[in-house]
Copies of this chain bind each other. A is one copy, B any other.
Amino acid sequence: MPKVYLAGPEVFLPNAREVGAAKQAICAAAGLQGFFPLDNEIGDLGGPEAAWRIYDGNVAMMRAADLLIANLTPFRGPSADAGTAFEVGFMRALGKPVFAYANVALSYPERVRGWLGGALVPHAAATEDHHGLAIEDFGLKDNLMLEGAALSGAFLVEEVPAERLYSDLAAFARCVALAAGG
């Protein structure tokens, strides 16, 4: 049974284990075994020692996995969660396919302009942010390194209600179907 590492910021949800179990059930129904980051056991550790234990556990799960399904829904800004982006890079360096989804369908420039807000944006076609840094615009949804990685699998987007931004699994399920069929 192919093994899938399940990356995404849903690990920060109050009901993260429930969402992880739901993802694993969708995987199992498609003949895939899902590894969820919270499968790590950190015991009574706290502070950096807990962090290093989680890091080592996630790295071991990624090395054992055959492919990645990454939740690249924008997280605290217009781009994907940095930890998930790390994991996309990790898996691509090992030559493992990356299937990605985002529960927001906007283009990257639209995401940045929305994040900057009306007060900060000189006009709707702004090409720089408030620091004067260019807004990447290659007709993609997120940073080109993430989208380039997903050429090895898929990059699916879906608009979902705000309250399900991090928990909606429709696009995830589409990734699973593609991954299982490939």
- Which A residues have a C-beta under 8 Å from some C-beta of B? 9, 12-14, 46-48, 50-52, 54-56, 58-59, 62, 75-83, 85-94, 112, 115, 128-129, 131-136, 138-140, 142-149, 151, 165-166
Bound CA–CA A13/B162 (angstroms): 32
What is the bound-complex CA distance between A80 and B9, given in angstroms? 15
> Are A132 and B13 in contact, with the CB atoms below 8 A?
yes
The residues of B that contact A128 with a CB separation of less than 8 Å are: 14
Q: How far is the CA of A52 from the CA of B143 in the complex (A)?
A: 11
Nearest neighbor of A13 in chain B, beta-carbon distance: B133
| A131 & B166 in contact (Cβ 8 Å cutoff) | yes
B55 touches A148 (CB 8 A): yes
Q: Which residue from B12, B51, B82 sits with its C-beta under 8 Å from A134?
A: B12
**Measured CA separation A153–B147 after assembly (Å):** 28
Q: Shortest CB–CB separation between residue A151 and chain B, in angstroms?
A: 7
Are B146's CB and A50's CB within 8 A?
A: no
Within the complex, the shortest CB–CB distance from A109 to chain B, in Å, comes to 12
Check B52 against A133 for contact (C-beta < 8 Å).
no
Q: Smallest distance from the beta carbon of A56 to chain B beta carbons, Å?
A: 8
**CB–CB A90/B87 < 8 A:** no
